[in-house]
Chain A
Amino acid sequence: MGQSYRYQLGSKTYQFADLAELMAKATPARSGDRLAGVIAESAEQRAVAQLLLAEVPLKTFLNDTLVPYEDDEITRLIIDDHDAEAFSIISHLTVGDFRNWLLTDTVSTEVLKQVSAGITPEMAAAVSKIMRNQDLILVAQKCRVVTSFRNTIGLPKRLSTRLQPNHPTDDVNGIAASMLDGLLYGSGDAVIGINPATDNVAQATRLMNLMDEVISLYEIPTQSCVLTHVTNTLECIENGAPVDLVFQSIGGTEKTNSSFGFNLAILAEAQQAALSLNRGTVGQNVMYFETGQGSSLSANAHHGLDQQTCEARAYAVARKFSPLLVNTVVGFIGPEYLFDGKEIIRAGLEDHFCGKLLGLPMGCDVCYTNHAEADQNDMDNLLTLLGTAGCSFVMGIPGSDDIMLNYQTTSFHDALYARRVLGLGAAPEFEAWLEKMQIMSNAGLAQLTNHLPPAFAGTLSSSAVKHYHG
């Protein structure tokens, strides 16, 4: 194992047994690390740990793996896929120098792209722990990650949305009603993605067919996804279902993923299966991953690490499979991991920064549950900060209320607020569609038309709606 760390502050000696402990104690306070028993015991100890962490050479992270190489396939992935040539540009730096380097004027979008494959998740996590919120925003904004399937996600001055038309019983008309609401508010360019109420191959297939038919009928330049277990999606593909994106929740240790019921080989198989369908028109990024701080601890699979370091390691899993979208579902897990608005906001900015630095198309489910100490104002703050940081996408849901998953995330209105106040547009292909369909008169200014778009006027007067009316 690696070395221990010691710091003399006046008459007081601070000692940290290993790099994992140093990382954990240097982490800004959050309830999940308290739950895991790895949190700093005092504010001073945390500040000292940050000072010591700043002195750690980046090279150390390649030798002192926080989870043993022999025990964990994600550590093996991180080490085996490490790009030494890309790393050579920053290999002489300490964590503290790395922060300065990232903030330097000359470290441009292009330089960050060049270095990305040389940065390990642990390096990204370490530097994020000594960065203030504004640093996380500034550097993330310099990163650019562009991905594509039927449209292009992540271009400068763009903010895409996942339309999330969930329904508690997967009712087809209920889902369609939320889809229509979203489309008419300009949402859905990142993906139209449904969390099914029941994890079931037949149900997933049915929802895939619904979305596929809507996308085809209205010629929407976007993609669909049913957020079911990867093994279900594989079975759907085998049965000939119209799968655009393969979904999976992922964590940062092998044990976490095993508790989710998959491993890297299954993800590789699913990626190949989706690629074989060749359904993308602009590009072939076929994976959609979700993450969130606390999932490893929740599965008792955190190996004594702090939750933010575990989260960053999940991004190694994601980048192996060239995803279209990676979504950190930051406030979903609850107050035992992120207690209040302040902790949720900090975590959202950390996750977005680490993901972008590692080359991922990072979006964020800006959200909270009803048992957390948070409210809409906290979400407004995080949304505005992430929009400023260049976040690739956020969620879109009717009135912020997910009636299936029982939590609050950003609404269609929220996304329009962010686009307007920050001067951001939707994906260019989708923006053109919004204007063609007369949903928006000026998509660049998030200007909705005041009349019902003609293509949908017919839908609303259709026999089905009238029938149900009676």
Chain B
Amino acid sequence: MVEDAEMLIVDDNPADDSMVIHNPWRQLRQFTAARIGIGRAGVSTPTRETLEFQLAHAQARDAVHTELDIESLKQQLILLQQEFPQINSQPPLVLNSRAIDRVTYLQRPDYGRQLDEAGFASLKPHYTKTPYDLALVIVDGLSATAIHQNAVKFISSLLPLLLKEIPDFSLAPISLVNQGRVAIGDDIGEALNARAVLILIGERPGLSSPDSLGLYLTWSPKRGLTDDKRNCISNVRLAGLSYAAAAHKCFYLLSEARRLQCSGVAIKDRSTEKIIDSSAVQTSFLLDSKVDRKGVDGK
């Protein structure tokens, strides 16, 4: 049975396709990864598309349960430290939330937001009286895959910006967190004494995007802050927001946070305004001037 299902999905020419009405606008998939123009049997999704969807869902379900590869991440971060000697030379800190495993994690977000006791103890030696400018916190969230694929690459795009614009920038040791949620960055930032914390976290996997990284910036982190005190940049991945664009936005938000001494809804992200204003003719094919208007007027 399994073999039959695979054959159906890889076969480009199903035996009898006459019952399926195809959509010529499927060609617009050049513009998007969305499942457009999938055609129909009656008004329903054709067999092949239905089964492909089920396969994607099965893969996303499996991705939720993948574990963070701590050793590999540590190695990559050590290489990064060699590339940017100005950043903190301490080895990455490995921390755990109060959620002891994935099953607990999925049901107890409150545990995922809190650092466990051992974590607080291991952060103590890294506390400084002169606050760090920024703490980077890498968290598995709901997709360790997103962290594996994007976290270090994003950091290596961000660091040159920071070091160029703010020469004496001080970075806390980088933290790696298992079974964590966004707010665990508050515990960590507070324990380290960081002016700001940037959380890199695996977002909930989508069918077409099991690898989406989210970034959350919080000024003056401390336990109990609510989400209106954070700024979010979403969907950082190869097929989404590029590392360079994400780093640019992130740097903008951090600069604003430093200037205004706050983060969250008080800061409006205007990082792309210049780009958007300068390209007034940002139109789509739907508004192309050559559109045949006959049908529009109903004639």
Contacts and interface: CB of A to CB of B under 8 A. Distances in A.
Closest 8 CB pairs of A and B: A399-B35, A458-B292, A455-B295, A406-B206, A176-B284, A174-B32, A464-B285, A416-B43
A169 B212 contact: no
A397 B205 CA distance: 17
A219 B54 CA distance: 37
B53 A177 contact: no
A420 B44 CA distance: 11
Contact of A178 (B32, B226, B228, B293): B32
B101 interface: no
Contacts of B273: 200-202
A218 B293 CA distance: 8
Contact of B265 (A198, A229, A436): A229
Contacts of B203: 406
B269 A468 contact: no
14 contacts: A35-B108, A180-B286, A200-B268, A201-B268, A203-B272, A217-B291, A339-B107, A371-B204, A406-B212, A413-B45, A437-B298, A452-B24, A454-B294, A464-B284
A465 B38 CA distance: 18
Nearest to A336: B109
Contacts of B56: 401
Interface in A368-409: 369-371, 375-376, 397-408
B37 A176 contact: no
A446 B228 contact: no
Contacts of A455: 291-296
Contact of A197 (B24, B27, B234): B234
Nearest to A402: B206
B293 A450 contact: no
B4 interface: no
A403 B241 contact: no
Interface in B182-233: 203-209, 212, 226-228, 232-233
Interface stretch (B85-93, B114-122, B171-179, B275-283): B275-283
Interface residues of A, number: 92
A177 B234 contact: no
Interface of A: 31, 34-35, 165, 167-169, 171-181, 184, 197-203, 205-206, 210, 213-214, 217-219, 229, 231-232, 235, 258-261, 298-300, 334-336, 339, 369-371, 375-376, 397-408, 411, 413, 416-417, 420, 436-438, 446, 448, 450, 452-460, 462-465, 468-469
A197 B235 contact: yes
B36 A446 contact: no
B21 interface: yes
The interface residues of chain A, by DSSP majority, are classed as helix
A458 B36 contact: no
A399 B49 contact: yes
Contacts of A219: 296
A457 B34 contact: no
A258 B108 contact: no
A260 B228 CA distance: 6
A258 B265 CA distance: 11
Interface residues of B, number: 79
A403 B295 CA distance: 31
B32 A171 contact: yes
Nearest to B284: A176
B109 A403 contact: no
Contacts of A402: 206
A370 B57 contact: yes
Residue from B33, B35, B53 whose CB has the most chain A CB atoms within 10 Å = B35
Contact of A177 (B36, B205, B228): B36
Contacts of B142: 371
Interface in B51-85: 53-54, 56-57, 60-61, 63-64
B30 A468 contact: yes
A218 B106 contact: no
Given A460-B24, A460-B25, A465 B285 contact: yes
B129 to A, nearest CB: 31
B29 A177 contact: yes
Contacts of A420: 43
Residue from B206, B269, B273 whose CB has the most chain A CB atoms within 10 Å = B206
A219 B44 CA distance: 28
A448 B40 contact: yes
B284 A370 contact: no
B163 interface: no
